[in-house]
Amino acid sequence: MDKYLKRQSIRDNVRMQRRMLTKKQQYQYAKMLALRALKDKRIQRANKLAIFLSFDNEINTNLLINMLWKETKIVYLPVLHPFAPGHLLFMQYNPNTPLVINRLNIYEPQLDVTTLLLLNQLDICFIPLVAFDNYGNRLGMGGGFYDRMLYSWYTGEFTFCPIGLAYDCQYQTEAIPTEKWDIPLPEVITPSCHWHWNIALK
């Protein structure tokens, strides 16, 4: 099968599996994920963390976000860059931050340059994904947004720690076919496992 079609078929498969989880499973898994994340020493020590609001049946991040707020951490969400297509900015997210729906139908904080994150200050970046494999290869929704964002980590320009968040069913036993622009993840947290890979930086 053509590589593009193979990647699409993995995405379709995983998205279908995520849709089949019951409400009870979704809640239990989200709770397990949040508790596992907070067991991690670097997450405990982190001050500024970027995360995402769940979309398309992604594992729910609201519990984790609430726990981070309780620990008085500074939380950021991605915002579509207003001028640079395909790029993300990160804006501070508090319980009272106004959210708007962007053109991809995802909630994002209203653009406010005063709360923009500078990536050199970021400690942890939680990353959404559709599928991951045994090497840390990652498939997203297909926009290349996080590949572009992760490039600055991959080249060593910034030293934040990227961590994928996913359900266990998003793991692929067969290697995901990659493209030259894909950036692998050094870590993924699922409800039942914290995966680590040694990714050689560029």
Ligand X SMILES: Nc1ncnc2c1ncn2[C@@H]1O[C@H](COP(=O)(O)OP(=O)(O)OP(=O)(O)O)[C@@H](O)[C@H]1O
Q: Cite the annotated binding site for substrate by residue number.
A: 53, 58
Among 28, 110, 181, 192, the residue binding ligand X under the rule CB under 6 A is 181
- Min CB(33)–ligand X separation in Å: 18
Q: How many residues in the shown chain lie near ligand X by CB under 6 A?
A: 14
- Min CB(56)–ligand X separation in Å: 11
Q: List the single partner that 90 binds among Mg ion, ligand X, none, CB under 5 to 8 Å by kind.
A: none
143-172: which residues touch Mg ion (CB under 5 A)?
A: 147
Q: Residue 160: which of 152, 168, 171 has the closest Cα?
A: 152
Taking CB under 5 A as the binding criterion, the range among 39-47, 139-147, 154-162, 168-176 that sits at the site for Mg ion is: 139-147
Residues in Cβ contact with 89 at an 8 Å cutoff, skipping those fewer than 6 apart: 78, 79, 80, 81, 111, 116, 117
Among 12, 56, 112, 179, the residue binding ligand X under the rule CB under 6 A is 179
Angstrom distance (rounded) from CA 100 to CA 108: 5
Q: Is 106 exposed, middle or buried (0-12, 13-18, 19+ CB in 10 A)?
A: buried
Q: Which amino acid type is present at position 145?
A: F
Taking CB under 6 A as the binding criterion, the range among 30-38, 77-85, 100-108, 138-146 that sits at the site for ligand X is: 138-146
Taking CB under 6 A as the binding criterion, the range among 16-24, 58-66, 77-85, 133-141 that sits at the site for ligand X is: 133-141
- Min CB(135)–ligand X separation in Å: 15
Name the 3-class secondary structure at 161. strand
Structure-token match 């995983």, residue found: 14
Give the torsion sign (CA, 4, 167, 195, 121): positive
Angstrom distance (rounded) from CA 123 to CA 76: 11
Residues forming the site for Mg ion (CB under 5 A): 147, 182
Binding site for ligand X (CB under 6 A): 139-148, 151, 179, 181-182
